[in-house]
Chains A and B, each alone.
Chain A
């Protein structure tokens, strides 16, 4: 992974000299029924070689964006341009965009080799070159010798490798992936994540990836655009998305998060003083749009919380009643209840310092100001 990031940083630097971004979405809107917008003004710029993930719950518009890019859905208004050229009026089969489908979409009546050869024979590539490229492509996805088999004779993971190979063999300008790992089981999914990252790194192609699985998005992408309700909530690299979510939706959607309701007492600089329902005062990073004397939600990740008597630097401390603890293996999850009844989860590494509590007993939870953000309600 480190390698991939490094390589793409290079790609970014090279790209920085040119003014023209590789792929541009300019205020793209989509409606199916002329009343409700499914995509409400989507803007994004993608550099060549980037791995971009569109992440969001189902119905958030992410797949619609992908379909408009592929040309299977028309753009209601706005513009999509590749290398400065609008593709709105280019037929899907002339866009030279590779696509990987969730259900593989391999042609069942063709062998693996015939499936791979199809985009090349459509482009009238010479027979000898097709053969050598098919062999090379099978080698790339580690399926040497599977050319003569039919898709029905392959396992799910192998079919997805063939689908990947087929989407890349004709050297498309861009590769789209629509929840390509959705049909695989957990173990295969992780294996294929690695595989896709490896291919992306090796070939340096631009990938637009759609998923609702955040762990997939976090582990593979250069940047993630979080969709909700037809709007991009935040578009940022994985670490930034996780550490500095720009609003409560992103904070809640990415990873696990605790929310403490409160009231903003004062804001100074980028920090806000918040009074919790229990009457305690905590200091949090001020989220965008936060105003004084209004309600807010303070988000803090379960792994950033510490339970007294574990000694640790801390800025904030609240008291909460212990409910239960669940043994997960490598860590233990503690459930606490705040004065207003909302639950707080704390993740503690499973070592000798994991404290013991009896039900209803009060515990002190502590954390750093830099680890929590106050979002407006």
Chain B
């Protein structure tokens, strides 16, 4: 236990502990809904509650049947497949476009920098429902509603702001004389871009790509508007699952998603450390 300074009164100490208590309370509030679904997903019964057997830790009360159910239900396998296809394609598209945009916006000769930045970042600020409605009407004239390309483009547009932000952040630490140095050594601007600029801003590009993937992965509003039954993603399937077939399969999927999120977060953290190390040694 920490030793308090001697001048501390009762109220100082009371304040210290109440601050601590409320901080823990907030953490519990954030974590509990996530933690609760993990054991429930191993429920042997088709209920959303803890059975007596589960509470007494009876091995028979736990099962993997809901995980098997995911694998057997064609709707779920299609949804998982769709989520990954759309997510990865949207992330690649957003990463390419976002990186190019960020590099262009970092150039000192870029005109209307603020206006263009605001436009590109607008998908983060404009309410999703408005974007979704707008895209729906826009897409109808191009026959893009209920198609994979339509959904991928829409999700890429949502992901671009994340890529721009992360890449811009790494570019602010980028020494422009490295580019000049590359040119003076005889490499064309394109070659310098791929040999020098990209490797140095790579951590920002990858974390931007991951953000774009996650954005697409848990997006449901655009999917509701733009996707047909063929393009249902995991969140969309969970959404209808909640209403149509109430069983712990949803919890099993949710648990898998939590694991995926933890893996992504860990990757981001590793990337951040790596970029810090690179920057620390570059000056």
Contacts and interface: CB of A to CB of B under 8 A. Distances in A.
Given A70-B184, A105-B177, A109-B199, A93 B278 contact: no
B184 A99 contact: yes
Contacts of B199: 109
A170 interface: yes
A94 to B, nearest CB: 8
A151 B187 contact: no
A170 B185 contact: yes
Nearest to A102: B177
A109 B184 contact: no
A30 interface: no
A119 interface: yes
Nearest to B184: A99
B279 to A, nearest CB: 8
Given A105-B177, A118-B195, A97 B184 contact: yes
Contact of A152 (B183, B185, B191, B280): B280
B187 A101 contact: no
Given A109-B196, A119-B185, A166-B185, 4 more contacts: A70-B184, A94-B186, A99-B180, A151-B281
Contact of B178 (A92, A107, A150, A152): A107
B200 interface: yes
Q: Could you tell me the dominant secondary structure of chain B's interface residues?
A: helix
B183 A103 contact: no
B230 interface: no
Contacts of B185: 93, 98, 118-119, 122, 166, 170
B186 A103 contact: no
A105 B278 contact: no
A123 B191 CA distance: 12
B186 A119 contact: yes
B180 A108 contact: no
Interface in A166-186: 166-167, 170, 176
A153 B183 CA distance: 24
B281 A93 contact: no
Interface residues of A, number: 31
Interface string A323-361: 000000000000000000000000000000000000000
Contacts of B183: 71-72, 92-93
A214 interface: no
Nearest to B199: A109
B141 interface: no
Contact of A108 (B177, B187, B191, B282): B282
Nearest to B192: A93
Interface residues of B, number: 23
A193 interface: no
A93 B189 contact: yes
Interface in B157-192: 175, 177-178, 180-189, 191
Interface in B256-283: 278, 280-283
A123 B180 contact: no
B176 to A, nearest CB: 9
A108 B186 contact: no
A107 B178 CA distance: 7
A151 B181 CA distance: 15
Contact of A109 (B175, B186, B200): B200
B195 A103 contact: no
Given A109-B200, A109-B278, A166-B185, A122 B180 contact: no
Leading 9 A-B pairs by shortest Cβ distance: A152-B281, A108-B282, A105-B181, A119-B185, A99-B184, A105-B177, A93-B183, A109-B199, A92-B183
Contact of A96 (B178, B182, B186, B196): B186
Interface string A141-164: 000000000111100000000000
A96 B200 CA distance: 25
Given A101-B177, A103-B177, A108 B278 contact: yes
Nearest to B280: A152
Nearest to B283: A103
A150 B279 CA distance: 12
Contact of A101 (B181, B196, B281): B181
Given A93-B189, A118-B187, A122-B186, A153 B281 contact: yes
Contact of B200 (A71, A97, A108): A108
A103 B175 contact: yes
Contacts of A108: 200, 278, 281-282
Given A93-B188, A99-B184, A122-B186, A150 B281 contact: yes
A105 B175 contact: yes
Contacts of A109: 196, 199-200, 278
A157 to B, nearest CB: 16
A93, A119, A170, most chain B CB atoms within 10 A:
A93
Contacts of B196: 107, 109
B221 to A, nearest CB: 40
